[in-house]
């Protein structure tokens, strides 16, 4: 049986559907019930070793998806409690239960801000607690695998920003602004962005679950990369709308505005979709190589342009989406 730790979330729910279609036996191990797989749900918080070990009984493979990942987690110690110590509990439970096959979703956040296309050998320079704790979790998992390198398999996925239907993160906020005609380009818009569609991430995970020969680290990226200007044009094309004249804001002014929203958020005790770190991330070039994934023989089922079109049409098409399950993320 395959255990999806954190499987009630965005990637896990998509992977659960693919596993169901493939006739695979799996369970969802999460602190929150699964929106679609209630009969497969086993409650456990990865910070609770006893509950986690109990939930993993009978499993032979683990896909570890659980994480604290948003930019504004409070208290900050939750990043360590969940991402680091929670992962340590996963290895402790795996040792006790004799589970020797583990797939972990880390993040390209471990590289920090990059200026050229970066592969899996890139320097680790995280700029936030999320990236720092994701890499710390990787180190714990490498230690676990190193105790029995011939008998244990460890695969680490480092996806870039993941987008898709039902996701309510930074990519959705951007698409929503463009679709609503409220988008303002901060900076010249020439910076390049690597992104990946949730269906392609889940499909690669399924590929790895079926092919136990693959090990190591994989950046998970859909190609080609778009500049921010190209991304805006692609979204307009997906909407079947004429490209509107885009208002442009200098980076310095946009970053100052982000700081202002940060201060206002602290005063009012609420979160705004604009913040200094989001402006910085929006304007940064983040390009990553996907060659190692392609070398496995895996072919992503959805090209980048098609994935964006599917997402835009589902989110902003005519159908009523009220009551639909959505997932909060960055």
Average pLDDT of the chain to the nearest whole number: 92
DSSP for residue 323: T
* 150 in a structural domain: yes
* 90 in a structural domain: yes
Confidence label for 197 from pLDDT (cuts 50, 70 and 90): very high
Query: What is residue 328's predicted lDDT score, i.e. its pLDDT?
Result: 82
Q: Which domain holds residue 102?
A: 2-162+197-221+287-301
* 215 in a structural domain: yes
Q: Are strands 41-43 and 61-64 parallel, antiparallel or unpaired?
A: unpaired
Mean pLDDT in residue range 80-90 = 98
Confidence label for 84 from pLDDT (cuts 50, 70 and 90): very high
CA distances from 23 to 27, 140, 206, 209 (A): 13, 32, 12, 13
pLDDT of 151 strictly over 80: yes
* 259 in a structural domain: no
* 171 in a structural domain: no
Name the percent of the chain lying above pLDDT 70: 98
pLDDT of 285 strictly over 90: no
The residue ranking higher by pLDDT, 15 or 237, is 15
Query: What is residue 179's predicted lDDT score, i.e. its pLDDT?
Result: 83
* 56 in a structural domain: yes
Report the CATH number that the domain containing residue 110 is assigned in CATH: 3.40.50.720
Query: What is residue 169's predicted lDDT score, i.e. its pLDDT?
Result: 85
Structural domains counted in the chain: 1
pLDDT of 236 strictly over 90: no
Is residue 62 within 8 Å of 5, Cβ to Cβ?
yes
pLDDT of 318 strictly over 80: no
- The active-site residue out of 130, 172, 197, 236 is 130
* 217 in a structural domain: yes
Task: Please give the helix or strand (H or E) that residue 49 lies within, else none.
Answer: helix 49-55
* 272 in a structural domain: no
Highest mean pLDDT pick, 39-48, 226-235, 284-293: 39-48
Query: What is residue 244's predicted lDDT score, i.e. its pLDDT?
Result: 67
Report the interhelical angle of 276-283 vs 170-179 (nearest 10°): 80
Query: What is residue 225's predicted lDDT score, i.e. its pLDDT?
Result: 92
pLDDT of 241 strictly over 80: no
Query: What is residue 330's predicted lDDT score, i.e. its pLDDT?
Result: 65
Can 130 be counted among the known catalytic residues? yes
The Cβ of residue 189 has, within 10 Å, a number of other Cβ atoms equal to 16
Here the tokens at position 169 are 């993160």
Query: What is residue 242's predicted lDDT score, i.e. its pLDDT?
Result: 62
């Amino acid at each position: 049986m395959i255990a999806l730790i954190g499987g009630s979330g965005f990637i896990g729910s998509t992977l659960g559907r693919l596993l169901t279609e493939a006739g695979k036996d799996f369970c969802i191990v999460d602190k929150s019930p699964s929106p679609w797989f209630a009969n497969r749900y086993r409650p456990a918080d990865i910070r609770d070793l006893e509950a986690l070990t109990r939930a993993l009984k009978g499993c032979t493979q683990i896909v570890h998806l659980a994480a604290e990942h948003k930019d504004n987690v409070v208290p900050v110690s939750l990043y360590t409690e969940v991402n680091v110590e929670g992962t340590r509990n996963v290895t402790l439970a795996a040792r006790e239960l004799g589970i020797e096959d583990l797939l972990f979703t880390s993040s390209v956040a471990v590289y920090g801000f990059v200026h050229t296309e970066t592969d899996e050998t890139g320097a680790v320079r995280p700029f936030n607690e999320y990236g720092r704790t994701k890499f710390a979790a990787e180190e714990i998992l490498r230690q676990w695998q190193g105790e029995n390198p011939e008998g244990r398999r460890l695969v680490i996925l480092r996806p870039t920003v993941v987008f898709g239907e039902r996701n309510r993160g930074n990519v959705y906020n951007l698409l929503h602004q463009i679709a609503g005609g409220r988008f303002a380009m901060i900076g010249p818009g020439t910076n390049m962005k690597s992104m990946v569609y949730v269906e392609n991430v889940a499909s690669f995970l399924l590929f790895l679950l079926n092919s136990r020969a693959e090990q190591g680290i994989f950046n998970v990226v859909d190609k080609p990369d778009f500049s921010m200007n190209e991304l805006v044009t692609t979204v307009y094309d997906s909407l079947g709308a004429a490209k509107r004249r885009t208002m442009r804001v200098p980076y310095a002014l946009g970053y100052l505005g982000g700081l202002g929203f940060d201060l206002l958020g602290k005063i009012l005790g609420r979160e705004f979709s604009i913040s200094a770190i989001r402006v910085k991330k929006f304007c940064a070039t983040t390009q990553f190589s996907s060659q190692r994934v392609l070398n496995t023989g895996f072919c992503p089922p959805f090209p980048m342009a098609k994935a964006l079109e599917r997402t835009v049409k589902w989110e902003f098409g005519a159908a009523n989406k009220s009551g639909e399950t959505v997932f909060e993320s960055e």
